[in-house]
Amino acid sequence: MELIEKLTDEQISDIAETIDALDNICYLNRGTGEYILMMNNKMLSEYGISWEDEEENEDDVLSDDDSPDWQKDMYNEVKADMAKIYSWELKDTIRIEKPESHESFEFMERFVDEIIPEGNLKREFWEALSRSHPFRNFNAIVHNCKYREDWFRFKQMAMEEYLRKKIGKY
């Protein structure tokens, strides 16, 4: 059975949404189809968690008793997920991250090309994408026009396609 067949459409949608919206990383077990969504390294470090430290460190941010319970619980859950990922065979583990900037840029270009009708708004989008800070420019327009919800649906679909292509390579 192919890896992509081990995941439901709902799981692919969940992974795509989470790696996009939260900048998380998906660790996927090729053998079982099991996956774990994990914070990126920058976010982990803010909680005193590191992939390098399999053993708890006395200097961890959450080592004191003054940390709130939710933070301690989250810390323990993340450490448990990391241990599980470590237990998977390296050859069976796929790491999937958010698309690179050029891929996300292509999503925006496709959206303008496929969804926005000919006219002033389409020209405005193309101009925004051709100037410096194209992501900021694009968002300023799309979040203030009637195609905002269309963008969210389109981006989710594009993220799911991206994920299917990534998984399909394995």
- For 8-40, what is each residue's pLDDT tens digit? 999 999 999 999 988 899 999 998 899 999 998
CA-closest candidate to residue 28, choices 92, 84, 77, 86 = 92
Query: Residue 132: pLDDT band by 50, 70, 90 thresholds?
Result: very high
Average pLDDT, the chain: 89
What residue type is 81 in one-letter code? D
What residue type is 56 in one-letter code? E
Q: Which pLDDT value is given to residue 58? A: 44
Q: Which pLDDT value is given to residue 22? A: 87
Neighbour-count burial for 116-126, b at 16+ CB within 10 Å, e otherwise:
beeeebeeebe
* For residues 144-155, average pLDDT: 97
Least confident of 83-87, 101-105, 144-148: 83-87
Overall size of the chain counted in residues: 170
Give 77-88 pLDDT, tens digit per residue: 999 999 999 999
State the CB neighbour count (10 A cutoff) for residue 107: 20
Report the share of the chain in percent with pLDDT over 90: 66
Query: Residue 49: pLDDT band by 50, 70, 90 thresholds?
Result: confident
Quickly list H helices, the chain: 9-21, 41-46, 69-87, 101-114, 120-130, 134-142, 148-168
Give CA–CA dist 36/157, Å, rounded: 21
